[in-house]
Structure 1
Amino acid sequence: MLHHVELNVSNLAEARAFWDVLLSDLGYTLYSEWEKGVSWIYGETYLVFVQTEERFLKDGYHRGHTGLNHLAFHVETRSDVDDWTERFRAQGVPILYEDRHPFAGGPDYYAVFAEGPDRMKVELVAKSK
């Protein structure tokens, strides 16, 4: 069982604004907050976002490098995927694989892939039919 995942972010305020809306809507609750970080919990698993130390900011993040590529979450229905797609667009959040959306993961895989803060890929996938 996964206990937690901790992600370093270049701008904690920007990350918090994005992730708070998304995670709260997905059923996560605010778990802990401190000067340099914040976390949300769902069941016994929590996600932690921590401000990257200044000395490491120049290196940046890219999902194609070794390490974490993206975070994927279940949503209940295809309608939920569609709703989130529109919410992301309204917020100016880039939708990835637009030419194959919402079947970028395959013909039976209904999902939206978006690019959150720090260009972190976020995936919301509808549960199977």
Structure 2
Amino acid sequence: MSKGLLHHIELYVSDLKRSIDFWGWFLEEMGYSPFQEWDRGKSFKMADTYIVFVQTEERFLDVSYHRCRVGLNHLAFHAESRQHVDDMTRKLKDKGITILYANQHPFAGGDDHYAVFFEDPDRMKVELVAP
């Protein structure tokens, strides 16, 4: 039964190529596969849920995203294990992606919350949480 599950998420991005370079490898590591692609967008799908990235129109690029404004704060994904979080943290660092709250990592979300927090190219926070 799919009632209540997310069908899809659509994110407008400032630089589609840069966002796909960032999100593509991560989503494929999470089990998503490329799904749809067109001039100004691309999506990745896992089971019945997909995530869409769309190039923001140039006339809207003067307003930058900030997760503390009204709107989406972050996306959080399930990891397989603590080891999976550790492996992905290493891959993120190898790609030069800044780990948020590094001085508290991997317990930045609290003593019982083993996760890695990082940002996409538009500074949207992403979280990978161990069970």
Range class of TM-score, shorter chain: over 0.9
Cα distance in 2, alignment partners of residues 62 and 27 from structure 1: 28
TM (norm. structure 2) is 0.95
TM (norm. structure 1) is 0.96
Aligned length, in residue pairs: 127
Structure 1, unpaired ranges of 5+: none
Superposition misfits of 4+ residues, deviation over 2 angstroms: none
Cα distance in 1, alignment partners of residues 48 and 111 from structure 2: 33
Match of 1:58 among 56, 62, 85: 62
Instruction: State the match for 1:87 in structure 2.
Output: 91
Alpha-carbon deviation of 1:52?
0.4
Query: Is 2:26 the counterpart of 1:38?
Result: no
More helix by share: 1
Match of 1:125 among 117, 126, 129: 129
Instruction: State the match for 2:53 in structure 1.
Output: 49
Query: Is 2:13 the counterpart of 1:9?
Result: yes
Cα distance in 2, alignment partners of residues 106 and 114 from structure 1: 16
Match for 1:90: what amino acid? D
Alpha-carbon deviation of 1:50?
0.1
Paired residue secondary structure (1:105):
coil
Cα distance in 2, alignment partners of residues 91 and 23 from structure 1: 15
Match for 2:110: what amino acid? G
Considering only aligned residues, what root-mean-square deviation do their CA atoms show, in Å?
0.7
Match of 1:98 among 86, 102, 123: 102
